Amino acid sequence: MDVSDCTHTLSPAKLSKPLDVVVALEWQLHEDERFTARELVQRDRAIGLSLGAQPNSPRDYWLWTRDWLRQLTKKDGLLSDAQNWMNTLHKVLLGLGLLLGMLTALATFDYDGWQRINLLVVIAVTCGLQLLLCVLTLVVMLPARFTRFVPGLPSAQAFLSLLNAGQWTGFITRLLPGWQTSWKTLSQQMRRREYLYSDVKKWIFLWQAQRLALAYHAGLLLTLLLLISFQDLAFGWSSTLTLETESIHRLTRWMAWPWHNIVPQAVPDLGLIDASRYFRIQGQVQAINVEEAQKLGFWWQFIILSILFYGVFPRFILWAICKRQLRQQCRLAIISHPEVERIVSRLSARSVSTRSLEPGETRFDKTQDLALDSLSRNRQFKSLDLSSIDIINWAQIDMSDGELLQLFNQDPEISEAHAAKPIARAGGICTHAEDEQLIKKLSAGACSHTVFALKSWEPPLAELGDFIKALLRANIEQVSLLLVAPPGKKVTGNNYQEWARFVAALGEPALTLLPGSGE
């Protein structure tokens, strides 16, 4: 697939929830692994130009990432597979909650006409237990910076979060079909950044747990309403503890306080409470007259409102907090995501390029090293017969003729004898015309061997090659090159190699590179 395929989507994904953005981001990162950095820069800079002003706050980072993902992710891509799958999971969880609620209702409000439904049990199950669970949830929700100071609290937190219903989603996911493909890749991807997503995960679990609880209550209320509609439920209370009617009244009054103004008929009075008390030992059959039975039915309003206020309402608040927290944590995770930094810079950074767009071309793939006798460079050579050679000082080495002759032959007498025939000059400041003159002169002379004194430190040029070839074509039988070291130094191995390559490249059998040089 080509990168440009990704930029033109028929139906861009909505990505309205931050959690969707997190999921989409991880997907996109997974997808982008196939592209080179250059391709990504190309693709993203194009998108970036459409996004407007430069991002300069963390919020901008979040918005840019979201908008970038909106342009990239396809509705029918693998991402939506993962999302659909996640939705299925949510539905399964909701169904579970609903079922659990219904079962609880059936168990708690189980009334066979013989035995009254014990109000104390109902209150304990629908309000007490729920409030306790809410408090525990709150403990889990506390951020680490508060719990640190209370000894034992962090570990209690860890333990509680294990019991947290949301925690089980991970387990359920494994049992559902479809786990293998998209979702698995995604969760692996996210596990690599455990530190980034640990809080997101915590809030996902908590949020799931609140949804589960809300579904539970929905099931509970629904079943209760059905039971009330199609059955007459007689409530009563009974306890082994010696409880006074007053204390029950106090409890119900406290409980009904939130709605005593709005729904006064749902506040049980002392008479109702007294009438509702029952003792099992008085015998199984306790005659209740119609009026009494009707009166006992009044409880249902109180019970439903209690469930709403002490079961549903706190859960709803917790759910809202969790949702908000989850959104915030998702945003934070995205802003702090190490890759997002890179994405935004790809989107916003001007693409600055200094590299060449065309491939390079070179004469040599690799430096060729000629196998030379390593000693030849260092060996002093003194054996040229000065009377049979012409010497050319190429490109005007800054040495007197006498000094130069010393390099060719160290016998002072011979050097002097040669003084009659001066060293010729070519290259350098001499014009090309003068060079041609010299070639003519040398070929007409008596010697058939020409020796060049060369600056070892300068690279050999093609014009010297031309000159040598012209000499060899004009009666000169042998040409030798002597490398002269820079003032105060020696000829380096690299320089010698460079000249040896030059000689080899010219391919003239009559051309030789003399070993050694003076200092």
Partner 1 sequence: MSEALFAVVGHPNKGKSSIVATLTEDDSIAISGQSGTTTRCRYFPMSVDSQVLYTLVDTPGFQRARKALRWLNEHNNSLIERRATVAGFLDTYRDTGEYPDECELLQPILNGAGIIYVVDGSVPFGNEYEAEMDILRWTGQPSLALINSQGDGAYEQQWRDVLGQYFQVVRSFNAMSAEFDKRIDLLSTFALLDDRWRHSLELAVDRLKGERQARNQRAATIITTMLIEMVTHVEEQDIGAKIESKTLEPILELQYKNFQRRREEKGRRNIEKIFDYRQLVREESAHTLELADLFSMRDWYLWGLNKAQLTLVAAGASAAAGAVLDAVTLGASLGAAALASSILGGGAAWFYSDKLASVRIKQVLPLGGRTIAFGPSRHRNFPYVILGRALRHLKVLKQRTHAQRQVLSLTESEEAQDLQLEEHWYQSLEQEEKSALDKLMTKLSTGKDILNAQQGIVKLLEPLIAAMDESPKQ
Q: Which is nearer to partner 1, 381 or 457 (CB)?
A: 457
Options 476, 501, 511, 517; binder of partner 1; rule CB under 8 A: 501
Cα separation, 209 vs 172, in Å, equals 14
Exposure on the CB side of residue 494, measured as CA atoms within 13 A: 4
CA–CA distance from 176 to each of 26, 99, 166, 171, 173 (Å)?
Answer: 22, 18, 16, 9, 5
Q: Does 146 contact partner 1 by CB under 8 A?
A: no
Q: Are 192 and 338 in contact (CB under 8 A)?
A: no
Reduced to 3 states (helix: H, G, I; strand: E, B; else coil), residue 379 is: coil
Q: Which stretch binds partner 1 (CB under 8 A): 17-25, 98-106, 343-351, 408-416?
A: 343-351
Between CA 405 and CA 416, with CA 411 as vertex, the angle to 5 degrees is 60
| Contact letters for partner 1, residues 383-422 (x by CB under 8 A) | ------------xx-x------------------------
Q: Are 445 and 477 in contact (CB under 8 A)?
A: no
CB of 48 to partner 1, least distance (A): 10
CA 468 to the chain's CA centroid: 63
Q: Which stretch binds partner 1 (CB under 8 A): 96-104, 115-123, 359-367, 473-481?
A: 359-367
Structure tokens belonging to residue 436: 């041609």
Footprint (CB under 8 A) of partner 1, residues 116-145 = 144-145
Q: Does 8 contact partner 1 by CB under 8 A?
A: no
Options 138, 162, 270, 320; binder of partner 1; rule CB under 8 A: 162
Structure tokens belonging to residue 59: 């919020």
CA-based nearest residue to 118, from 285, 235, 246: 235
Q: Which stretch binds partner 1 (CB under 8 A): 202-210, 311-319, 375-383, 456-464?
A: 456-464
Burial label for 401, CB within 10 Å (0-12, 13-18, 19+), is middle
Q: Which stretch binds partner 1 (CB under 8 A): 131-139, 275-283, 307-315, 450-458?
A: 450-458
Q: Are 98 and 215 in contact (CB under 8 A)?
A: yes
C-alpha dihedral sign at 447, 377, 470, 405: negative
Within 10 Å of residue 258's Cβ, how many Cβ atoms? 15
Footprint (CB under 8 A) of partner 1, residues 321-340 = 332-333, 336, 338
Q: Which is nearer to partner 1, 130 or 208 (CB)?
A: 208
Q: Which is nearer to partner 1, 61 or 319 (CB)?
A: 61
Total residues binding partner 1 (CB under 8 A):
63
Options 355, 374, 383, 507; binder of partner 1; rule CB under 8 A: 355
CB of 338 to partner 1, least distance (A): 4
Q: Are 302 and 266 in contact (CB under 8 A)?
A: yes
Q: Does 149 contact partner 1 by CB under 8 A?
A: no
Options 360, 383, 413, 507; binder of partner 1; rule CB under 8 A: 360
Q: Which is nearer to partner 1, 271 or 422 (CB)?
A: 422
Q: Are 429 and 359 in contact (CB under 8 A)?
A: no
Q: Which stretch binds partner 1 (CB under 8 A): 26-34, 282-290, 469-477, 493-501?
A: 493-501
Q: Which is nearer to partner 1, 95 or 428 (CB)?
A: 428
At 418, the amino acid letter reads H
CB of 107 to partner 1, least distance (A): 24
Q: Does 349 contact partner 1 by CB under 8 A?
A: yes
CA-based nearest residue to 25, from 345, 324, 326, 339: 339
C-alpha dihedral sign at 112, 115, 119, 122: negative
Options 342, 449, 469, 490; binder of partner 1; rule CB under 8 A: 342
Q: Are 254 and 359 in contact (CB under 8 A)?
A: no
CB of 28 to partner 1, least distance (A): 18
Q: Which is nearer to partner 1, 168 or 278 (CB)?
A: 168
Q: How would you classify the pairing of strands 235-236 and 389-394?
A: unpaired
Q: Does 367 contact partner 1 by CB under 8 A?
A: yes
Q: Which stretch binds partner 1 (CB under 8 A): 181-189, 195-203, 230-238, 506-514?
A: 195-203
Cα separation, 46 vs 33, in Å, equals 19
- Residues forming contacts to partner 1 in the complex (CB under 8 A) are 37, 45, 49, 144-145, 162, 167-168, 171, 194-196, 199, 332-333, 336, 338, 341-342, 345, 349-364, 367-368, 395-396, 398, 427-433, 435, 455, 457-463, 466, 486-487, 494, 498, 501
